[in-house]
Amino acid sequence: MGGPSDSYDISAKHYDAAYSVKQGLADASFYADLAKRSGGPVLEIACGTGRVLLNIAREGIQIEGVDNSPAMLRVLEARLQREPPGVGDKVKLHQGDMRDFHLEKKYPLVIIPFRPMQHMFTVPDQVSALATAAAHLQEKGRLAFDVFFPKFDMIPEGIGQEILELEWPVDSKPPKTVRRYLRKESFDKVHQNFSATFLFRTYEGDKLVREEIEPLKMSYYTYPHLRALFLLAGLEPVEEYGSFEKTPLDHTASEMIFVLRKANPGRA
């Protein structure tokens, strides 16, 4: 995930179960298609518990993952042990901060899927993350990442309200259910970020038996902001989309998805 202060200990525990029930996730197949086009090896920055990474490894493509969260990496390592023979051989993991890690290798494809760039809160951090990714590209390599297209009317709404986002069963005796709520705490219009709290509540029937709390902070971007960051990081877009179905990046977009290359000042 993001910077060094992010532990994600609680989210890591619930991450795979939560996103297994989330509707509408189409990013894994998008990045797998990019990986197949590249031929590999692939570098995934902020790989988390491997939702996207494992999908690529199962295609027989060599992939390396970097994440700053030991808790996330432990979950991913455990998942690798349960994969069919051969999948784990395609994967290598590293712990590191997306702003300044350094691997000796360069890759034809570097990906930053599912919005880790939104855990970068200042322009220096945003540029550092993109420049670090670019430094790991082969000369003709591609960097792909996504952020959400902000709905500016909704960002300041609902401060202090708890919204039930996801619910999933736990295989236990007696059976349990976990519900993840989001409570928006504040937003910063000038610096373009908001702070919230995840509340993971475990129930036996109607009885609350456990509550776990983890903070969340996310930045959001405008299109011109991102284009300026690309210039500062020495990158230029070659593809851009408004959804993982590759619809145009226009006023109907729900995402901002970019495939970038190293900028060449002499390129026509």
pLDDT at 140: 96
Q: Is the peptide bond before 41 cis (omega within 30 degrees of 0)?
A: yes
The predicted pLDDT at position 4 comes to 36
Q: What residue ranges do the domains of the chain occupy?
A: 9-149+222-262, 162-219
Contact 39, 19 (CB under 8 A): no
Specify the pLDDT at position 175.
Answer: 94
Instruction: Please write down the HEC assignment for all residues of the chain.
Output: CCCCCCCCHHHHHHHHHHHHCCCCCCHHHHHHHHHHHHCCCEEEECCCCCHHHHHHHCCCCCEEEEECCHHHHHHHHHHHHHCCCCCHHHEEEEECCCCCCCCCCCEEEEEECCCHHHHCCCHHHHHHHHHHHHHCEEEEEEEEEEEECCCCCCCCCCCCCEEEEEEEEECCCCCEEEEEEEEEEEEECCCCEEEEEEEEEEEECCEEEEEEEEEEEEECCCHHHHHHHHHHHCEEEEEEECCCCCCCCCCCCCEEEEEEEECCCCCC
Are the C-beta atoms of residues 106 and 42 closer than 8 Å to each other?
Answer: no
**How many CB atoms sit inside 10 A of residue 69's CB?**
23
Q: CATH assignment of 9-149+222-262, given 3.40.50.970, 1.10.3720.10, 3.40.50.150, 1.20.120.140?
A: 3.40.50.150
The pLDDT score that the predictor gives to residue 191 is 97
- Euclidean distance between CA atoms 245 and 90, whole angstroms: 27
Within 8 A by CB and 6+ apart from 126, the residues are 117, 120, 219, 229
pLDDT value of position 2: 40
Residue 96: phi and psi, rounded to 5, are -175, 160
> What's CA 18's distance to the chain center, in Å?
15
In the block, residue with structure tokens 């129930």: 203
Low-confidence ranges of the chain (pLDDT < 70): 1-7, 265-268
* Contact call for residues 109 and 81 (beta carbons, < 8 A): no
**Spatial CB neighbours of 249, under 8 Å, sequence gap ≥ 6:** 223, 240, 241, 242, 256, 257
**pLDDT for residue 264:** 85
pLDDT at 266: 63
Task: Please tell me the predicted confidence (pLDDT) of residue 7.
Answer: 61
What is the predicted pLDDT for the residue at 1?
45
What pLDDT score does 5 carry? 36
pTM for the model = 0.95
